[in-house]
Chains A and B, each alone.
Chain A
């Protein structure tokens, strides 16, 4: 509860601030001749971008929290299931085919394909006792590396230089020049995904005591896995469809949030969504303001923060203080 209030409050402060920040700083108390222009910048450029940052960050944060709870591992990341790489592969296919207008559809189809594959594998692995979870995670990793290889293949065989540069840029993730259209695609899917994850939340708590204890308490492992695949698939897939690959948010955010909660997976999902929204919103505002010739890609910026944090996390874990 404390964490929810904290991050909701933070978001309430960050959101208006991010609307003011950019190449053109907006004076909230200004008015006069530029007012119409200012309104246009706010409503058609900055607000949709900010809302999209909130949506993407929330999806990644919630999915990360759920994944760590499910795999009982603080190093788990929503990318582990291969959903984000498959969504990216779908998007890359749309560049390759020169059908960029339907990019989100292609990306969502990629995420959907990954989810279907995972569900198929889950149906075959989670029936027996033990081992199912490890096998399933490995299957997810295989899907991820297959998608990665196909993406690399698409890059090396790009039909022209324009498509190549588009693919590479897009893979790095960004929220530049996004409109309300992207918001309408991503927001409902992400919200639905977070909703599904919340349904699974209590079962994730039971997993704290191990797979067998959870099953003995009436948790159906197959149902839990399906909920997780659908929840992560929707919230991450929708994010990739509109913003490309944005790494590390799903990994880092639950760690920032965990000490502020009772550490149960169910207590982590909503505050992780809020904190993820804060992080992506802040990072996106920062890349907008940085005085560089071309805007730093959001995905790159977050990885630049994320990688050192991950190292620090590993060192802390070795010391056993996690």
Chain B
């Protein structure tokens, strides 16, 4: 039940964007893909989704090469949330979420209702997209993915362009999905969010794998310094904050981490 990149090499045009990337994502975990701009994060995510075909190596889902899977079957297994919140027509929230059933070729309403309920969209159900805020729109698009009941959720910067409370809110939803057994793979820019919410972090640097492991190891200060060329220190919130967080049902980490940047190396 794993999603694996096996020695993936990927070229876009003349540029080699991924070099020999191997990583195995586990279900029930949030895997964060981080790295500087142009490191190949989105490309890796699209290769894992099957939208980009590696020039060498392959991506396997439960041992099967993803390039050989029928498109519908792949769509049912992997829900992909692209970057941005582009919706061409001013349709109602419910219509967008119902699109999640597309890979199944059915119009079941129960999973759509469940996804709408999971993301607290009940009151917005009939609202046209143009009347939603950025945060609401992001929740609608995630609900679309959930309505397909995929075993894997792959999301490209789902938390970008959201304010702090909506970021935590959506990250919490993704955590719930992972606890429910789905494998969640997200591209993130915010290293603190990756540290606090991910079970595992993959660090990319210029198309190569710079680190892969639990957040505290993969996002160690020396790795950040090497990959991002900045000096930074992690700080951890105190005991009071910990108990407050536990009441909220937030992550199991002993405390929340914040990253303080000290300037270029």
Residues of A within 8 A of B (CB): 72-73, 129, 202, 205-210, 212-213, 215-220, 258, 262-265, 322
Contacts and interface: CB of A to CB of B under 8 A. Distances in A.
Given A218-B103, A220-B71, A212 B51 contact: yes
Nearest to A73: B88
Nearest to B107: A202
Contact of B148 (A129, A217, A220): A217
Q: Which of B52, B72, B80, B82 is the most central at the interface, judged by chain A CB atoms within 10 Å of its CB?
A: B82
Q: 5 nearest interchain CB pairs?
A: A218-B75, A216-B80, A72-B88, A218-B72, A218-B71
Interface-centre pick from A72, A73, A208, A218 (highest chain B CB count, 10 A): A218
A202 B89 contact: no
Interface of B: 46, 49-52, 70-76, 78-82, 84, 86-92, 95-96, 99-100, 102-103, 141, 144, 148
10 contacts: A207-B88, A208-B87, A208-B91, A213-B80, A217-B75, A218-B74, A218-B75, A219-B102, A258-B89, A263-B89
Given A129-B51, A129-B52, A219-B102, A262 B92 contact: yes
Instruction: Name the residue in A209, A258, A263 with the highest tally of chain B Cβ atoms < 10 Å from its Cβ.
Output: A209
A154 B92 CA distance: 50
Contact of B82 (A72, A73, A210, A264): A210
Contacts of B141: 209
Given A202-B102, A219-B71, 7 more contacts: A129-B51, A207-B88, A209-B86, A216-B79, A217-B99, A218-B71, A264-B89
A8 to B, nearest CB: 23
B86 A262 contact: no
A216 B103 CA distance: 9
B88 A205 contact: no
A208 B88 contact: yes
Most chain B CB within 10 A, of A72, A208, A220, A265, is at: A208
Contacts of A263: 89-91, 95
Contacts, number: 78
A198 B85 CA distance: 27
A273 to B, nearest CB: 19
A128 B75 CA distance: 18
Contact of A216 (B78, B86, B87, B90): B78
A217 B102 contact: yes
A54 to B, nearest CB: 27
B51 A209 contact: no
Contacts of B76: 218
A129 B72 contact: no
- Say whether chain A's binding surface is mostly helix, strand, loop, or mixed: loop
A220 B92 CA distance: 25
Contacts of A258: 89
A215 B51 contact: yes
A265 B95 CA distance: 11
Contacts of B87: 208-209
Contacts of B81: 213
B51 A262 contact: no
A208 B91 CA distance: 9
Contacts of B144: 209
Contacts of B75: 216-218
B46 A205 contact: no
A206 B84 CA distance: 16
A59 B95 CA distance: 26
B4 to A, nearest CB: 18
A235 B19 CA distance: 48
A205 B80 contact: no
Nearest to B86: A210
Contacts of A213: 80-82
A209 to B, nearest CB: 6
Nearest to B80: A216
A209 B96 contact: yes
B103 A217 contact: yes
Contacts of A219: 71, 102
